[in-house]
Amino acid sequence: MKKQILTLAVVAVAGFGAFVAPVNAAGTAVELPKRDWSFDGALGTYDRNQLQRGFQVYKEVCAACHGLDRVFYRNLTALGYNEEQIKTIASEYSVVDGPDDEGEMFDRPARPSDRFVGPYPNIQAARSVNNGAYPPDLSLIAKSRAGGADYIAALLTGYEQAPADVEVMAGMHWNKYFNGHQIAMAAPLTDGQVSYADETPTTVDQMAQDVAAFLTWAAEPHMEVRKRMGVKVLIFLSIFAFIMYRVKRKIWRDVH
């Protein structure tokens, strides 16, 4: 009984433990590999080709368990998809709508104006097929986890054999970058799992980077606009400060 309770406790942590920086068994922080992202820095921008690859990984792999509830299909225009492509993508999913003229709810193909359709109708259904764990929604995962894209990419590539002196609990998997190391989610990526249209090699590391970039965009779709505005504001303030300095010199020139 105690073992079952402990198992459920660890499974629960699998859904929430990554809110903090990963730590090892000794309680010290685990250093995440630092990657170079196109969106890093004050002038960084998203790589649209990478975002499309990341969306493909999410769609073909991650979406089987994880939702993206804060993203609408129409938002995919930011990734470079046109209206017809988005309509086709959305129509692959069904949503419950209604009521109709007879007061009945009905299923219909999703439209660009709909949110991404999740894999489960409710939390209870999700837990029932995941050994009690609830796969978190990924809409804000890049903002809610310390390390952002670096953490997501590290987690997806951090699965390995557990140390010989560690007992991995039933239904759990060892991940060197997960908080506590034991995670309910099995390694989701394998080499060659998807096929990219641009023929980019589909290694685990490449797919992990691509989906991490996509999830960063999902969490911060207006990042590029914010950065451009920030640069404009800094330029304006610099010019304004220079003008005010010249005005001050002119006003106080005769005082001295």
Domain ranges of the chain: 2-71+125-221, 223-256
Q: Is the pLDDT of residue 5 over 50?
A: no
Place of tokens 């980019």: 200
Q: Running DSSP on this structure, what letter comes out for residue 57?
A: H
User: Over the stretch 185-218, which tens digit does the pLDDT of each residue have?
Assistant: 999 999 999 999 999 999 999 999 999 999 999 9
CA distances to 97, 98, 179 from 106, in Å: 5, 6, 42
Place of tokens 């060197």: 176
Q: Is the pLDDT of residue 70 over 80?
A: yes
Nearest CA to 63 out of 184, 222, 220, 214 is that of 214
CA dihedral 235, 147, 64, 218 (to 10 degrees): -10
Longest dimension (CA), the chain: 88
β-strand partners of 172: none
Q: Is the pLDDT of residue 16 over 70?
A: no
| The predicted structure's pLDDT at residue 68 | 96
User: Over the stretch 225-253, which tens digit does the pLDDT of each residue have?
Assistant: 999 999 999 999 999 999 999 998 888 88
Over range 25-34, report the average pLDDT: 71
Q: Phi and psi at residue 97, in whole multiples of 5°?
A: -130, 175
pLDDT averaged over every residue in the chain = 88
State the Cα–Cα distance between residues 116 and 183, nearest whole angstrom: 26
Residue type, 138: L
In this prediction, residue 18 has a pLDDT band, given cuts at 50, 70 and 90, of very low
Over range 40-65, report the average pLDDT: 96
| The predicted structure's pLDDT at residue 130 | 85
In this prediction, residue 11 has a pLDDT band, given cuts at 50, 70 and 90, of very low
Long-range contacts of residues 123-132, Cβ cutoff 8 Å, at least 24 apart:
126/65, 130/65, 130/184, 131/11, 131/171, 131/184, 132/8, 132/11, 132/12
Lowest mean pLDDT among 23-32, 128-137, 156-165, 170-179: 23-32
In this prediction, residue 17 has a pLDDT band, given cuts at 50, 70 and 90, of very low
CATH superfamily label, 2-71+125-221 = Cytochrome c-like domain (1.10.760.10)
| The predicted structure's pLDDT at residue 9 | 40
